[in-house]
Amino acid sequence: MWILDYQLFLLPELLRKRVSDMIIGLYVRSPFPSSELFRSLPESQQILSGMLGANVIGFQTYGYSRHFTSSCMRILGVDTTPKGVDNEGVLVDVVVHPIGIDAEAVRRIASREGVRQRAETLRELSAGKRIILGLDAMDQSRGILHKLRALEKAFQMYPELVGKVPIVAGPATSSPPSRLS
């Protein structure tokens, strides 16, 4: 049983209550904030207990997994170890498995005729320049503004780059890549 993401944080415990020996994994794709922030959520206890119904909980980074275990310790008052969280005598494993990109799928898309033509056109338009390509969901958490500010800073620090670094940015969604521009 693999459960994905914060829309379903209560599900592991709901299942555990009804089938005690179910094997349940929960993967959290989003970040997990520090316990000081997380405890400000009125329902923080219910959410943490809900998650602890799983046998194993995965996070993207070590930092997020630490935030989660310290939230359990401070908000629920349960024991934690470097490997997991004690849930009434059962150790819930807390693991770190970053999601990579599907390199094979990207390669497939990149080799399509239409994509190759488009790439060729972009390279011709920007001959002799370095192209920065950004594909981000139009979403506050993707840091698009931060990327633009970083570029601005780079231009201030290295004025010789101005005019030499075209940036190609597009919204990435679940729509087919051919529709991105």
Q: Which residues bind another protein (CB under 8 A)?
A: 1-11, 14-15, 18-19, 22-23, 25, 27, 29-33, 37-38, 40-43, 47, 50, 56, 93, 95, 97, 99, 102, 105, 138-141, 171, 173-177, 179
Asked if residues 50 and 43 have their Cβ atoms less than 8 Å apart, the reply is: no
Min. distance of Cβ 26 from another protein in angstroms? 9
Residue 144 or 161: the one with the smaller Cβ distance to another protein is 144
Question: Strands 2-4 and 84-87, how do they pair?
Answer: unpaired
Half-sphere exposure of 91 (CA within 13 A, CB side): 8
Min. distance of Cβ 172 from another protein in angstroms? 9
Min. distance of Cβ 161 from another protein in angstroms? 29
Question: 13-50 b/e with 16+ CB inside 10 Å = b?
Answer: bebbeeeeeeebbbbbeeebeebeebeeeeebeebbbb
Q: What sign does the dihedral 68-72-74-79 (CA atoms) show?
A: negative
Q: Count the helices and strands in the chain (H runs, E runs).
A: 7, 8
Residue 156 or 178: the one with the smaller Cβ distance to another protein is 178
Min. distance of Cβ 150 from another protein in angstroms? 18
CA distances from residue 92 to 53, 79, 145 in whole angstroms, order as listed: 8, 11, 38
Min. distance of Cβ 6 from another protein in angstroms? 5
Residue 60 or 126: the one with the smaller Cβ distance to another protein is 60
Question: Strands 56-59 and 25-27, how do they pair?
Answer: parallel
- Tell me which amino acid residue 24 is: I
Residue 25 or 73: the one with the smaller Cβ distance to another protein is 25
Residue 120 or 139: the one with the smaller Cβ distance to another protein is 139
